[in-house]
Amino acid sequence: MSWESLKKLLPNSIKKAGLYDQITGQSVIDIAVRVLLARWGDKKASFVVFVSYQEGKLKAEVSSPVAMQALNVEKNILINAINHELHKKIIKEIVIRRKGF
């Protein structure tokens, strides 16, 4: 049996264990938060929470009508910036929902 590096073994092990989608989803959300913070700053970005990522859809909840409108306006810019950070075209759309009480 030949020796293989951890760099080669880890991705296959993650896929076999069924964790690939969870890890990908969490890294997409982390990068989305970082991109939004860089564009909007702490105060404005605090109105947006990225909830989940699955099959090309990044879901966000907003707690302000103004944040919802701003996110809708900048949706394509954010998608491009996040995909650029990921070095792949992973996000196809951002689904925005109003967070209610």
What's the rounded mean pLDDT across residues 29-54? 94
Confirm whether 19 is domain-assigned: yes
Confirm whether 35 is domain-assigned: yes
Q: Give me the domain span that covers residue 32.
A: 8-98
What's the rounded mean pLDDT across residues 1-28? 66
pLDDT at 74 (0 to 100) = 94
- In this prediction the pTM is 0.76
**CATH number (domain holding residue 60):** 3.30.300.180
Confirm whether 3 is domain-assigned: no
pLDDT at 9 (0 to 100) = 66
Strand 48-54 with 57-62, pairing = antiparallel
Number of domains forming the structure of the chain: 1
What's the rounded mean pLDDT across residues 24-31? 86
Collapsed DSSP state (helix, strand, coil) of residue 50: strand
pLDDT at 19 (0 to 100) = 52
Comparing CA positions, the residue from 15, 35, 23, 37 lying closest to residue 83 is 35
First to last CA, the chain: 59
